[in-house]
Amino acid sequence: MATPSESLLSRISALQDYKRYEDLHWEGSFEDYLRIVQERPEVTRNAFQRVYDMIVSYGEEEYMDSKKKLIRYPFFKDPIDHGKDAIHGLDIPLMRLVHVLQAASQGYGPERRIILLHGPVGSSKSTIARLLKKGLENYSRTPGGSLFTFKWTNLKGTGCVPEDEEHGEMPCPMNEEPLRLVPEEWRGAVVRDLRLGNDRTRV
């Protein structure tokens, strides 16, 4: 007969989605990753591209106001938390913000600048930042928002890891894009020769 504590633990364990966990914690070789990039080059997007794609993944709504065409982004209604952090009445400032992110994602200049949210107390600056953070966290758990990084393995005895490091592994301290393992002077040839990227996503 199971003890009360075992029964409680088994109930907690039953809540785990092991398939989802495996998807979120995929591991493979660098060659495996290159195959993923060939199939889905969007996994190599930069931060601005990722933020912009995350926002528009929730759709866009066009409407007319005083003969002006405006775009409302449902993401800012906070569909993740059922409207807990929803923003109302700021369609034009939010539209401008998304346009800046779009320009940055296409390399038109804003990606080299700091984006400053400026406004009076209560104008939703912190809420916008919280929404973007929440949205990215949620997006990174979806196939469309997957992120990859790397770790070095088989380092035991090389002096690169402490002797008591059981597996001889060292994760990338900055969680960088795995393609950065390719020396910079080779990257152009690698992208070209392996045909990485497509019309929509430049690797």
Tell me how far apart the alpha carbons of residues 25 and 121 are, in angstroms, rounded to a whole number. 40
CA end-to-end span of the chain? 57
The DSSP code for 199 is S
pLDDT of residue 123: 92
Structural domain span for residue 65: 28-193
pLDDT reading at 3 higher than 70: no
Q: Please name the helix (run of DSSP H) or strand (run of DSSP E) that holds residue 164, with its range, or none.
A: none
Total domains in the fold of the chain:
1
Is residue 198 included in any domain, yes or no? Answer: no
pLDDT, tens digit (0-9, with 9 covering 90-100), for 131-176: 999 999 999 999 889 999 999 998 988 888 888 778 889 999 999 9
pLDDT of residue 60: 95
The residue count for the chain: 203
pLDDT reading at 125 higher than 90: yes
Is 49:203 a contact under the CB 8 Å cutoff?
no
pLDDT, tens digit (0-9, with 9 covering 90-100), for 93-123: 999 999 999 999 888 888 888 888 999 999 9
Is residue 108 included in any domain, yes or no? Answer: yes
pLDDT of residue 199: 81
The DSSP code for 75 is G
Give strand ranges (E) for the chain: 61-65, 68-72, 151-152, 170-171
Confidence band for 6, pLDDT divided at 50, 70 and 90 = low
Residue 151: alpha-carbon gap to chain centroid? 19
Q: Give SS3 for 93.
A: helix
Is residue 92 included in any domain, yes or no? Answer: yes
Is residue 4 included in any domain, yes or no? Answer: no
Is residue 14 included in any domain, yes or no? Answer: no
Residue 169: alpha-carbon gap to chain centroid? 24
* Least confident range of 13-22, 59-68, 166-175: 13-22
